[in-house]
Structure 1
Amino acid sequence: MWLNKYAPKNLSDFAGNSSNIAEITNWVKTWKSQPKKALILEGSSGVGKSTALNLIAKELGLNTIITSASETRTAKAIATTFGVALSQQSLFFKGKLVIFDEIDALSGKSDRGAVGEIVKLIKKSKHPIIFVANDFSGKKLAPLKKESKKIKFQKIPTPIIADKLEVILKNENINYDDRALKSIARQADGDIRAAINDLEVLAHGVSELTYDAIKDSGYRDFRKPVQDVLTIIFKTTSVKNSTEALSISDTPLDTMVEWVRENIPREYKKSDDVARAYQMLSRANIFMGRIHTRQYWRYLVYVSSILSAGISTAKTEKYPGMQTYHYPTKISLLGASMFSRAKNDALAKKLSPHLHCSKREAKKYFPIINLIQQNQPDIWDSILTKID
């Protein structure tokens, strides 16, 4: 993969965020005298946070100890694994740089006590600790903010990404035009990793990469509407074709799940094919649930693969005829009930402090409230006056 082949070998090769690199390097060098003994790196995917840390550790001669919050979530697990890394001396007495990746994955009830345990470890650590996150705004992570210095990684500017792509194509002896490179760089939206992956796909098997060729390929700069994507997914049995179609869709994955769910029985005629397709879809739902509740964003690749290749290969034969795919019923119902749901949410928000419970728990009282509204309107008016 070009992503590995052209990964920066040292800090001089690193693209973007140069001032951040210098600041991190200085912090690590002077860690013992720093007032805050941990560092937070925040920034969107593909801006080079983890790569930068590995290169800095290499330049300073440090061993890296990497722990992921998505794998080490409980206070006990953190104390036994992460804690050991902070207290032990490195091999050959080299220093350590301890990296806690995906720290923003700590969110749910199962993570209770984890943040407190990490704070304890920071205070007694013998090595510098750096947390990596896409988004560090969660309230649960507030105690870590007090103990850490924060550095924000910015998206890589389009010209810098285009320059990197140019270097790659020159090394691969592939001709190109500037419009093609700028288009790929612009659509990556600051994610240099995505840009390199896109470049490798688009330049595969060609001697010249042109803007017109990118346009004709259906590249993400020219996204496909949902009807076209569904046609490819449902009609093809090619993993490659269905995967590429979904990758250039203009529809979010969670919305695409509902489109596929709605139209499986309209497209597939055999009951066994329908059953296999829905089984695939149930797996996609499981991964989407973990993404929403646990922030396991890496699971998006599994959802994408299931919605494309999984659904395409669930059928035993191609079904003839063209379909006009139906808009998802679930989304229609949610849209129709949007105002009533908003009204209920507002009422629950007003009631929750008086009932000493969460908004979700407050909604459990709605059946009683409905009876009061219907049978005792004067009492209900009095209640409204008090909670407003």
Structure 2
Amino acid sequence: MPSPDVYWLALRRAHGVGPRTCKLLIEKFGAPEKIFQLNADEIAAAGVPRNTARNIAEFRDFESLEKELCELPNIGARVVKWTDADYPPNLRQIADPPPFLFVRGSAQLTDANYIAIVGARAASDIGRRMANRLGLELAAKGFGVVSGLARGIDGEAHQGALDAHGKTIAVLGCGVDVIYPAEHRKLAEAIIESGGAIISELPIGTQPLAENFPTRNRILSGLCLGVVIVEAAEKSGSLITARMALEQDRQVFAVPGSPLSGKTRGSNRLLKEGAKLVECVEDVIEELAPQMTGPRSSASPPEVPAESTPTQLTSNRTAKVEVAPFARATEGAKTLGAVTESAMTILNNLKDSERLHVDSIIESSGLNAQTVLRLLLELELEGRVTQHPGKLFSLA
């Protein structure tokens, strides 16, 4: 007798069965093992095409799927099913949610406050810096950063979140055991080791074929409250993600770029069509504040009770949140006289050295990493501190 999880995999692998059909059948009949006890006529009566219903009723390849499940612990992966309490609440709300996800990493996916950052693979230097900074600032504020592990903007967004000792999730267009591109293997390992996760709906061993990525993008946007496009050409996969985000009733943001650059024509067009303009992290946070689940501090992300039901998780999306924005550079004159004791500790440390690495500042200050990163950002915006390449800081 196959294990219950095998039936979940089997339902999705039956020829002709996609995410919408899975959702339809599970809502109609409950657990997938009950579906496989039905004949083709009974399945078709639920609104499934007869050929597809026959494929489900005649499916017999359970043994190979059992072996696939047994392989998951060997790669540090697990299955999170649509009916599980730890299934992502935002993702459950879309029209075609994956019936299950393969997950590598310890991240709790029930945190609804995720924000995606995506963009060009062949990104400009300034675009990469912007993605890294947005990832760092969002993570320093306690938000989860989601991206696709691709070269360019995606990789920088993940790295920025890691630099803030925050949580980041990579959504793959291949199996969770296949890291693409290969040069991001260390980045993928760092994401897992930092408490983040690598996720995919595709079977282990699936290679990164081009047709996998558009469907992957619906998961990337579906996980999040909003999607930030940093750089996108006119024909870009990031624009597919933006379109899917709009279909899922997610907020779309775009970072403006030079009209002379082909790398940003797509993102600039999004701005013409109504996307929210992003110049700093506050532009994202302030727009999404009404949708966020509960109060948020920069020190730690919100926790969703383990015993929460899917209904409770969904209803939390309407909760209000108070966000303390960073001091803007234009308001620096108003805040120069009000320096906290913690900020003064950082300034005093910087006085003793021409440039200090962020890790040295964290160690010498005695403060936690997220507090130091937040304070450095505020001091930089106030014009007191300058950031240099390599995460080095000095007095301005």
Question: Which bin holds the TM-score, normalised by the shorter protein?
Answer: under 0.3
Q: Point out the structure with max Rg over C-alpha.
A: 1
Normalized against structure 2, the TM-score is what? 0.23
**Greater helix content:** 1
Normalized against structure 1, the TM-score is what? 0.23
